[in-house]
Amino acid sequence: MESGDLAWLMVATALVMLMVPGVGLFYAGMVRKKNAVNMISLSFAALLLASLQWFLVGYSLAFSESIAGIVGDLSMAGLLNVEMGDYAFVIFQLMFAAVTLAILTSAMAERVKFSSFLIFGFLWVTLVYSPLAHWVWGNGWLADLGALDFAGGTVVHISSGFSALALTLVIGKRIGFGEHDIEAHNVPMTLLGAALLWFGWFGFNAGSALAADEIAANALIVTNLAASAGAFSWTLISGYHGRPGSLGIVSGAIAGLVAITPAAGFVTPASAVIIGFVAGVLCYYAMVFRVKRGIDESLDAWAIHGIGGLWGAIATGIFASVNAEGLLLGNYWQFVAQLIGAFSAIVYAFVVTYMIAKVVDAVIGLRVSEEEEYVGLDISQHGEMAYS
């Protein structure tokens, strides 16, 4: 890589890394104060798990020689046969895996053993994330099909969102869910986490150009526009149904960021505004649906990341006009390829996650005891308190 491109990729890597504690703060503010430390700890644990897994087998499974288009071989396990000039790309992709696992912790809020998460998380990145990354970015079958995913709408957001839904169905509801309000204990903490996510997302999307060029600049501006449009539409809808709370504003922004992720290098600013605006609407009503069905996917990874990622993948096939042509330019196959890629990722992530969760639950158990849940996971799992 040219020195300027390499410098930008390393900066983008640092920006994406900042998203991991950003997820932790975003989630921690929305749980009860007795579980705040645990939620932040889960995000940091996601970073350490993904780092070790990526070094041992993850990068090789995702980016080495393809086995039938499904997964890579182990020729680069332990980073063997990886040239030093590729290390920046290795760690950049590692941060994507870490963020994806951190997003998935939404489904574990306030009720999962920390030790069980360590085992589940390592298995999930190995069996779900790495193969999906290979399908799309590692010359796998979806890449051969022509499916587009600039920065992870399918690999990151669909996988984490629908995996969160599967995990929720295995774990079950929190004690008292639906019987009394479980309110956010620290809204400013969540707003700070959202700010870090928005900031880090510039590295997430623009860094995926792998160069300091006009495509990166396009990704930068469409990322910001989609986030703003998503926040605006969510604010309008929540205001119509009641009062436009700050949590709704930042949830809409995250929805817009999620939706523009697969399209960031392929659409114009005008298309980004449409994609972000629609994402805010879709994700809001997905959240309403989830609540009405009594599904305790606690912090809405499915509604925001899963549904937002699905819309973003489809929207890429509709609006692509930069270095690719979508449905609006007469390329019907691109739209079809996006549908195939998105729904195959949904099925794979949901089914495999459900199986992993069932096995871990059967062997060591996923949930804490009722007494530990009542006391709170900060004390029962970490022996610490967020607030004295």
**Per-residue pLDDT tens digits for 149-199:** 999 999 999 999 999 999 999 999 999 998 887 899 999 999 999 999 999
pLDDT value for 201:
98
Confidence category of residue 43, pLDDT binned at 50, 70, 90? very high
Structure tokens at 326: 């979508």
Whether 279 maps to a domain, the answer reads yes
Residues 6 or more apart whose Cβ sits within 8 Å of residue 84: none
Q: In whole angstroms, what separates CA 295 from the centre of its chain?
A: 19
Which CATH number covers residue 203?
Answer: 1.10.3430.10
Q: How many secondary structure helices (H) and strands (E) does the chain include?
A: 17, 2
- Whether residue 121 contacts residue 46, with contact meaning beta carbons closer than 8 Å, is answered with yes
Confidence category of residue 108, pLDDT binned at 50, 70, 90? very high
DSSP β-bridge partners for residue 42: none
pLDDT value for 178:
81
pLDDT value for 182:
87
pLDDT value for 49:
98
Whether 19 maps to a domain, the answer reads yes
**Residue 29: domain span:** 3-382
pLDDT-above-70 percentage for the chain: 100
pLDDT value for 41:
98
d(CA 263, CA 149): 7
Question: Given a cut of 90, is residue 1 above it in pLDDT?
Answer: no
Confidence category of residue 65, pLDDT binned at 50, 70, 90? very high
Whether 387 maps to a domain, the answer reads no
d(CA 292, CA 306): 18
Whether 73 maps to a domain, the answer reads yes
CA 313, 1, 322 angle in degrees (round to 5)?
Answer: 30
d(CA 258, CA 232): 15
For the chain, the maximum distance between any two Cα atoms, rounded to a whole number of angstroms, is: 61
pLDDT value for 63:
98
**Per-residue pLDDT tens digits for 138-152:** 999 999 999 999 999
Whether 388 maps to a domain, the answer reads no
**Per-residue pLDDT tens digits for 195-249:** 999 999 999 999 999 999 999 999 999 999 999 999 999 999 999 988 889 999 9
Residues 6 or more apart whose Cβ sits within 8 Å of residue 291: none
Whether 219 maps to a domain, the answer reads yes
Pairing between β-strand 71-72 and β-strand 66-67 as defined by DSSP bridges: antiparallel
Whether 93 maps to a domain, the answer reads yes
| Conformation bin of residue 276: beta by default, left when phi > 0, alpha when psi is -120 to 50 | alpha
pLDDT value for 61:
98
Query: How many domains is the chain partitioned into structurally?
Result: 1
CB neighbours of residue 311 within 10 Å: 24
pLDDT value for 17:
98
d(CA 334, CA 117): 38
pLDDT value for 199:
98
Whether 175 maps to a domain, the answer reads yes
d(CA 66, CA 159): 20
**Per-residue pLDDT tens digits for 282-328:** 999 999 999 999 999 989 999 999 999 999 999 999 999 999 999 99
Question: Given a cut of 90, is residue 128 above it in pLDDT?
Answer: yes
